[in-house]
Amino acid sequence: MPRAGLSANTVVDTAVAIVDEQGTDALTLAAVAARAGVAAPSLYKHVRSLGELRVRVGVRAMEETAERLTREVMGRSRDDAVKALMHAARGYVRDHPQRYAAMPADPLSDPAYAAAGSALLEVFLAVMRGYGLEGSDAVHAIRRLRTIVHGFVSLEAAGGFGLPENLDETYAQLIDLYLTSLPRT
């Protein structure tokens, strides 16, 4: 019988808290059990393995990111939507750098992540449709955008920008640079 109050969601919530505080390397079933106040074998009623729990943490991060991006781009189009999307993505990583690190690089290639990855991709595709971009053109535009955002936020989260110039200004310049790559018609 599962412990009262312990569910798959509370196990994931506990895992996310550990990841937020200590990083993905600190996520173990023993750490989750200790934080939840249960014996490690009790977790197996809710998750099959540490691997499954890591997937659930990554899925949670992708779902949260998709929700935030959707909320921010809703009602916006074209350049305004791109700016909102890029700022929202950076904001998520600033708020949750360790969760972001738990997201897989290529979620669409793994069935465990595919639904969450597709939902996240759909936000980007919707923004690109505002420029009339579909198919390969949209994919290339999204890859450029993702490379800029991921590169910047990864370096920022790792403390990789040691010079005193304002990071918000640099990011705004990157957004402007990206926008010049999109159709103007």
Domain boundaries, the chain: 1-47, 58-179
- Percent of the chain whose predicted confidence (pLDDT) is above 70: 98
Judge whether 157 and 167 are in contact, CB under 8 Å.
Answer: no
What pLDDT is stored for residue 5 in this prediction?
74
What's domain 58-179's superfamily in CATH?
Answer: Tetracycline Repressor, domain 2 (1.10.357.10)
CATH topology of domain 1-47: Arc Repressor Mutant, subunit A (1.10.10)
Q: How far is CA 120 from CA 9, 123, 132, 138, in A?
A: 21, 6, 19, 14
Work out the average pLDDT over 170-184: 97
SS3 helix, strand, coil % of the chain, rounded to 5?
Answer: 70, 0, 30
User: Residue 89's pLDDT band (boundaries 50, 70, 90)?
Assistant: very high
Contacts of 184 (CB under 8 A, 6+ apart): none
